[in-house]
Every structure is written in C-alpha cells, then in structure tokens.
Amino acid sequence: MDRIRISGGAKLNGTIPISGAKNAALPLMIASLLTDDTLTLENVPHLADVELLIRILGNHGVDYSVNGRRENQEKGYSRTIHFTAHTIVDTTAPYELVSKMRASFWVIGPLLARMRQARVSLPGGCAIGTRPVDLFIDGLRALGANIDIESGYVVAKAPKGLVGNRFTFPKVSVGATHVLVMAASLAKGETVLENAACEPEIVNLADCLNLMGARITGAGTPTIRIQGVDSLSGARHRVIPDRIETGTYAMAVAMTGGDVLLEGARSDLLETALDVVRRTGAEVTQINSGIRVTRNGNGIAPVDVTTEPFPGFPTDLQAQFMGLMTMAKGRSRITETIFENRFMHVQELVRLGAKISLSGQTAIVEGVPQLKGAPVMATDLRASVSLVIAGLAAEGQTEVNRVYHLDRGFERLEEKLSGCGAVIERVSV
C-alpha cells in the first residue's frame, strides 16, 4: 500500500493547476442515465471515485470513451469523457458497488425517472457519520414513486411515470437535491423544491440538464422550479473547478508561507472559505488566470469557524482548516454542524504535536509554535489531506498512510505540491 512521505518546512512557491470538481463530476456523470444520447463532459478529474462510478454506470449499460486529446494534456490532468446510456440494461445498483461510494446511490433518481423503476442498495454508514437516505425517499415519494425497503435495497417504482409536486426538504441535502432535480426533469408537470441545497455543484448540474433540454430555474437558490419534459438529449458540458481542492491548497500556502497561483480557480465558488483564509493572515486575490495566495507576514492568526451548507464554510474544508489552526498564534474554535463524526483527524493531528480538545461538535485548537513529523493515517479523504497540510509545515518527516483516500479526491497531489517546492513523494511499501 502506498504512503505519502513529506519532509516539512519548505515554503510553497509556484503554480498549482486546479482540477475539475469531483463532487460536480459525479452527479453530471450520473445524469448521463437520463438520455439515450451522448453526454460529453469536459474537465473530468482523473480520480479513483470517477473510475469507480464509470464501472457502476457501466453496470447499468452506460458506454464511455475518453477523448484522444486530454484537457491540459502536457500535465495529464482532467479529461473529456463521452457517456452514452443508449440502452439501460439493468436498473439494479448492487450492494458491492454502492457500498464503496455513497454518491452511487444517486442513480436512483435518473433510473426511476427514465425506466420507471430502480432497485438500489442502501449505502450503509461511512467514516464521517450515519448518513441516512430518508430525504431521497420522501422526495421521490412526493413525485409519486412507490418505495419499499427490501433486504437492504430501496425498491422504487413509478409505473405511470413520476409526477411533479412541491417538496420542502426538512434539512438541506446536496445529494437529495441532485437526485430530485434529475428525477423531476422527466416528471409530468411542475416540481418546486424548497430548502434545496445551493452548492455550486447543483448549479453545474442544472446548467447541464438545461443544455440537455430540461427546464430548470432557481438552481443556486433555496427554491428550484423544474418543468418536466418528455425526454432529454445529449449535450457537451464542462465540470467546474474544484472549490475544495482550491481551498485545500490555499490553506496549505497559508500554513507554510509562500506565493502560489491556483490556476483556473474561481473565488466565487468559495468566498466564505477564502475570507477565512484572509483573516488568518494570507493575501488572497482573484486574477484572470486563477487565485493568487501569498503569506509572508507574521504567522497565522486564529479564526473561529462553523461549517454550514453553501454559501457557508464547507464541511469538506473543516479538517484542512484545523490543520492550519494547529500552528496559529492563539486559540480557535471549529464547529462541525453537517456530519456528526467528522473529527477523525483530531487524534492524528495530535500525533504531530497539535493541542486540540473536543467539546461536543466543537474542536478547541490551541496553536503551537511548531508541529513535529510522525507517521499518521486517516479514515477519509479530507481528513487525510489535512494531515498532508500539517506535514508540510511540521519539522522533520511525516508519513501519511492509506493514500487511497487521497486518490479518491485529489488529482496528482504530490506532483502539484512538489512542483511548488514541497518535499513530498509517494512511496510504495
């Protein structure tokens, strides 16, 4: 199993190209199930989660081909991929696949809308919390689906097709919003979704569906209106830059000091997080080619944050920000409100010399002058990368184990960081 080995202390200077967003690419790929035509997606990141979803979609009958010419070819980054679900051969998503990646549960929306039936395994728990699917079930029932749970599977049927309706999410959910927007696109009549997620990935999906012939307005606000259409066609659409990767590298620069251009990054996708990075003492500027982050000043100022749905501070940057706060000049409080178990990185950061105590859903971080390298491991993607950030600033050597978590969501992490002067390598053991 591979490890990432880091010799800390180097400042980051240079350019980091920002990849297409994993969490935008996954629902867009799933949207290919809605049409028998070809959906072409540009800027799809080369990640383990994307490869796994290609396999899962293949199981339903989706063919794919990768463009001969890659995006940003000289560096081998994100690709253009064509997806064609000409014939859906299977409406079952089996446990063996769904349990590996929760987002694959989302196939339930397009399968039900197009094929009028779907049998999708319950995803089960995961490292960051219980993550139930009640909102998906209630929402699809509101569109007229009959849903039963049978032997660990959600069995959904709508023999006469889905019918538009008004549905208010009792809690904001990114995944359930994606699914209901996709399902309602092929329902009869109008659907109004209230308290919908406003994340940029929802807007990216709705823009793509509209190119495919859907009639969606209001994406990016809490109220989304969808006029159902009979069928959708193919389209060509671009995945937005990854705001979580952007924020992660911005925090890495704020941690080590230096001057880095995050090429292709868009500050409008993560204003709140970038403001927080500014308050820690870094300079963050949007320029034509991306976002420039510099820190040359007097160390890291402590800042309190609370995770919230978009446009608030994202839970997917909470672990990385905690990494940064471990070396702040003072105390910070980090409160997690989205997932109940997303502090798995705390004990590992403590192994690097951080001083962190937990009080319910709040972590209290007392900044220390210097972290010290150590072997560490993490149980999820964002937690793993927080350890990388901490390792970049720690004195001595840090080894991050279980690199497969990083490969799920960070394209060529060690190449991007070493290109900016970090001493970081992947070692096979």
Binding site for ligand EPZ (CB under 6 A): 23, 26, 102-103, 129, 131-136, 171, 173-176, 315-316, 338-339, 381-382, 409
The answer to whether the beta carbons of residues 19 and 249 sit under 8 Å apart is: no
CB closest to ligand EPZ, residue no: 175
Cα–Cα nearest to 367, from 349, 385, 384, 382: 349
Residue 10 or 224 having the CB closest to ligand EPZ:
224
Task: Indicate the SS3 state at residue 89.
Answer: coil
Cα–Cα separations (whole angstroms), residue 353 to 11, 118, 119, 321, 326: 20, 49, 48, 16, 9
Locate tokens 């001493």: which residue? 423
Residue 167 or 300 having the CB closest to ligand EPZ:
167
Round to whole Å and give the CA distance between 187 and 183.
7
Residue 103 or 394 having the CB closest to ligand EPZ:
103
Residue 171 or 355 having the CB closest to ligand EPZ:
171
Q: How far is the CB of 207 from ligand EPZ (least distance, A)?
A: 16
Q: Bridge partners of 256?
A: none
Cα–Cα nearest to 31, from 71, 81, 66: 81
Cα–Cα nearest to 88, from 125, 52, 114, 65: 114
Cα–Cα nearest to 39, from 50, 30, 52, 49: 30
The answer to whether the beta carbons of residues 157 and 190 sit under 8 Å apart is: no
Locate tokens 């196939």: which residue? 107
Q: How far is the CB of 134 from ligand EPZ (least distance, A)?
A: 5
Residue 232 or 381 having the CB closest to ligand EPZ:
381
Q: How far is the CB of 147 from ligand EPZ (least distance, A)?
A: 12
Q: How far is the CB of 222 from ligand EPZ (least distance, A)?
A: 14
Q: What is the DSSP letter of 167?
A: E
Q: How far is the CB of 353 from ligand EPZ (least distance, A)?
A: 26
Q: How far is the CB of 203 from ligand EPZ (least distance, A)?
A: 13
Q: Is 198 a catalytic residue?
A: no
Round to whole Å and give the CA distance between 398 and 66.
36
Cα–Cα nearest to 400, from 128, 6, 1: 6
Say which of 126, 198, 208, 420 is annotated catalytic.
126
Residue 67 or 306 having the CB closest to ligand EPZ:
306
The answer to whether the beta carbons of residues 1 and 421 sit under 8 Å apart is: no
The CA-CA-CA angle for residues 217, 219, 221, to 5°, reads: 110
Residue 405 or 412 having the CB closest to ligand EPZ:
405
Question: In this structure, which amino acid lies at residue 131?
Answer: R
Q: How far is the CB of 298 from ligand EPZ (least distance, A)?
A: 32
Residue 183 token pair: 């399902």
Active site residues: 126
